[in-house]
Structure 1
Amino acid sequence: MRQWLISLPFLLSLAGCSSDKPMIDTSQSLVMESAVLSAGIITDDPKLDEEDGQKRASSVLYNQRETPVIVHYRYYWYDEKGLEITPQEPAQTVTVPPLSSLAVTSQLGNLTASKVRLYLYL
């Protein structure tokens, strides 16, 4: 018990030495609220490539319903360590036509970006 009490201040000081940006588990590249799926929208994980000296992320939204669906989306960019790259782009809004598909993209000039996450909501 005494050993634990002695090591507690050391452990707390280590916790304070981290970056001011939170590290994110970037293994989940797609976050979709359940309402999006209920509205008939499906998609794949975003693809990351480089175009004209910029990083580019893209994903295709598929509307399985016979009515158009308005979807909001935002891409979040991360470096190799899982730190979020700023500034963030604002959320975008698209209308996916009925029984059709639509590509949603994002470009970033910061070439240190190595991972991306797409967040979809209604």
Structure 2
Amino acid sequence: MRQWLMCLPLLLTLAGCSSNKPQIDTSQSLVMESSVLSAGIITDEPVVDEEDGQQRARSVLYNQRETPVVIHYRYYWYDDKGLEITPREPAQRVTVPAHGSIVAASQMGNLTASKVRLYLYL
């Protein structure tokens, strides 16, 4: 009986962790490889809004260097529960002009999409 009582907290913890679908922590909305920072690119976290019945995400990329930088980006969309929405858009490639900026944007027709994660890499 004593062993069973000692195992009870562990069993309750494991039971609370079970789920049919994997959930993702969407609190980190911006992921940037270190090489992007080294190339002189800075940005803010993406902003999500609705336009023409579509969910849109936007983030402005700024280049602090004297030369243009080619950046790849991809948006990952999630619902309120943290479940990823598919299909994914393909990665995009943009050139951020020297001492300039561009808008990295994505659009999702699924209105259950409410959160995004922007992934930037060279």
Q: TM-score range by the shorter chain?
A: 0.7 to 0.9
2:84 matched to which residue of 1?
A: 84
**Paired position in structure 2 for 1:109:** 109
1:2 counterpart SS class: helix
Give percent identity, aligned residues only: 70
The equivalent residue for 2:118 is 118
* SS at 1:95 equivalent: strand
Cα deviation digits, residues 12-59 of structure 1 (max 9, x gap): 6765x5123x21111111000111000000000001000000000000
Which secondary structure state, in structure 2, belongs to the residue aligned with residue 93 of structure 1?
strand
- TM-score, normalised via structure 1 length: 0.88
Where structure 1 has 5 or more consecutive residues not aligned to the other structure, the ranges are none
Measure the CA separation in 2 of the matches of 1:27 and 1:10: 26
TM-score of the two chains, using structure 2 as the length reference:
0.88
Match of 1:40 in 2: 40
Number of paired residues? 120
Structure 2 distance, partners of 1:8, 1:31, is 34
Unaligned runs of 5+ in 2: none
